[in-house]
Amino acid sequence: MTDLDAVIHAPARLRVVATLATLDPADEITFPKLQQVLGMTAGNLSTHLRKLEDAGYVRVSKAHAGRKPVTYLALTSQGRRAFEDYTEALTGLLKGAGA
């Protein structure tokens, strides 16, 4: 059986990574926009982002827009590769289940 990346495999983190993977590698999304897209609470999203950041899969950068702090999120190259590996492993697992 193929091992699935446990960091990505959690449903909420899979949704986060899959959403970030739709962005071009040089693009970022703001925390509130990602929260809105995923329909997650700020606390829940923050918890999952921390695990992804600790694994090196997500880059979190903070800036200011005028006087307001803004948090930008992006998938790192390591995170993009991990997601590609995860989808390949999942596809292999599903193909094996159909045999």
User: CB of 72 within 8 A of CB of 30?
Assistant: yes
User: What is the structure's pLDDT at 63?
Assistant: 95
User: What is the structure's pLDDT at 2?
Assistant: 60
CA distance 13 to 79: 12
List, edge to edge, every strand of the sheet that includes 29-30.
29-30, 68-75, 58-65
Q: Give residues with Cβ within 8 angstroms of 50, minimum separation 6.
A: none
Query: If you search the block for the tokens 């897209």, which residue do you land on?
Result: 37
Predicted TM-score of the model (pTM): 0.91
Average pLDDT for runs of 10 along the chain of length 99: 86 98 96 98 98 98 93 98 96 81
Domains of the chain with CATH codes: 6-89 (1.10.10.10)
